[in-house]
Amino acid sequence: MPSPVASVHQPSPPNAAAHSHGTQSAPEADKEKKLSVLESHGYFLGKTIGTGSYATVRVAHSERHEGSVAIKIVSKFSAPADYLKKFLPREIQVVKGLRHPNLIRFLQAIETTHRVYIVMEYAENGSLLDIIRKDQVIDESRARRWFRQLVDAVEYCHERGVVHRDIKCENLLMDAEWRIKLSDFGFARGHVRSKNGQPSLSETYCGSYAYASPEILRGIPYQPEYADVWSMGVVLFAMVYGRLPFDDSNYKELIKQVSNKVSFPKDPKISSTCKSLINKILAPLKSRIRISGIRGDAWYTFEPVPGII
């Protein structure tokens, strides 16, 4: 399912941003009736770029931002109660405090009786999944560049106590300069450190099976930062091989696969250093590499010598 392709300004609180029906003169009131809630905020809807069971994402022209934005439109009638009461407010709260070149920027939230509108940066070049489907595989040079951007984004979040918990190719969007933008913080959680500094465990088992760490699949309380790292390894594998490392069509088989060493396809031919890094990420929790280790890895730090292939 496509994710919001979405840029953060001074965010407005959800309720404060809602359409106001203050005291108006009759002509003003008549004019206001003719405008939709979004139009009254300067947003003019365009094509649909993503659909889900209770949310739609559409491109819109923004007068304020002088260009295109993406708007996630959540129906209060279709969305589950726990999503509206727990996950959606948490998503808005989390993204309001984040600003990084490799994160989709939150712009504004508007709430009405029937809907919640989340206005975001528009990433016009689609998702990483779209690119993999088109190109089949991503060469290691491009994969390295995009993986570094993903690491930057995730480390930035983790340093601020935010875990994403749904890192996957569909949620990695591309802006006009073909830079990675991590999006969709619908399962994100803040304040992951407890008061004594020890990691706070998650017990919400969210995200996609194919990208989920073994501890999530087994349903045990887990450290979400390390589950994010696992998902990043699945993304790296998907880029260089053009397919996912694990088959999520059978849950019991999936548990077996994630418990064993990664099986690498014969083609395409991938460098031993790249495979080594993937092995270090897609590893049991006790031996799984941390972000600091990834930053020091030989494949990650490799810089080709100009003029030498």
End position of a domain, from candidates 91, 121, 151 = 121
Confidence of residue 207 (pLDDT cuts 50, 70, 90): confident
Provide the token pair at 226. 């390390």
- Structural domains of the chain, count: 2
* Tens digit of each residue's pLDDT (9 = 90 or more) over 260-275: 999 999 999 999 999 9
166 flagged as catalytic: yes
Asked if 98 contacts 157 with a C-beta cutoff of 8 angstroms, the reply is yes
DSSP 248: T
- In this structure, what DSSP letter does residue 287 have? T
Same domain, 263 and 211: yes
Q: Are residues 113 and 258 in the same domain?
A: no
User: For residue 15, is it within any domain?
Assistant: no
The Cα-based distances of 225 to 24, 230, 303 in angstroms read: 50, 9, 28
Is the N-terminal amide bond of 27 cis, ω within 30° of 0? Answer: no
Question: Is position 20 within any domain?
Answer: no
Please give the model's pTM, rounded to 2 decimal places: 0.83
Residues 37, 166, single domain; the answer is no
Q: Any known ligand binding at 168?
A: no
Same domain, 141 and 270: yes
Same domain, 154 and 280: yes
Instruction: Please indicate, yes or no, whether residues 52 and 192 belong to a single structural domain of this protein.
Output: no
Asked whether 189 and 90 are in contact (CB, 8 A), the reply is yes
Sheet containing 43-51: order of strands: 43-51, 55-62, 67-75, 115-121, 106-111
Give the CATH number of the domain where residue 78 resides: 3.30.200.20
Please indicate, yes or no, whether residues 156 and 117 belong to a single structural domain of this protein: no
Q: Is the dihedral of CA 10, 121, 39, 115 positive or negative?
A: negative
Answer yes or no: is 19 within a domain.
no
The type of residue at 19 is H
Q: Is residue 308 part of a domain?
A: no
Q: Please report whether residue 217 resides in a domain.
A: yes
Please indicate, yes or no, whether residues 103 and 249 belong to a single structural domain of this protein.
Answer: no
| Domain-located, residue 105 | yes
CATH number for the domain including 190?
Answer: 1.10.510.10
170 and 271, same domain (yes or no): yes
Domain end marker among 105, 121, 137? 121
Does the residue 293 lie in any domain? yes
Q: Give tens-digit pLDDT for 28-43.
A: 444 444 568 999 999 9
Say which DSSP state 169 is in.
G
Residue 17 confidence (pLDDT)? 31
Task: At 228, list the tokens.
Answer: 């994010």
**Residue listed under structure tokens 């005291």:** 23
* 17 domain residue, yes or no: no
Give me the pLDDT at residue 304, please.
Answer: 78
Domain encompassing residue 225: 128-301
167 and 95 housed in the same domain: no
Note the pLDDT of residue 198.
Answer: 63
The pair of three-digit structure tokens given for residue 185, joined into one six-digit string:
């913080």
Among the ranges given (112-116, 138-142, 187-191, 224-228), the one the predictor scored with the smallest mean pLDDT = 187-191
Rounded to the nearest 10°, the torsion over CA 264, 268, 271, 275 is -20
Contact 29, 8 (CB under 8 A): no
CB of 259 within 8 A of CB of 252?
Answer: no
Average pLDDT over residues 84-109: 92
Same domain? For 141 and 246 the reply is yes
From 62, 89, 121, the end of a domain falls on 121
State residue 11's pLDDT score: 33
- pLDDT value at 24 more than 90: no
Catalytic residue among 135, 139, 152, 166: 166
Residues 132 and 109 in one domain: no
pLDDT of the residue at 137: 93
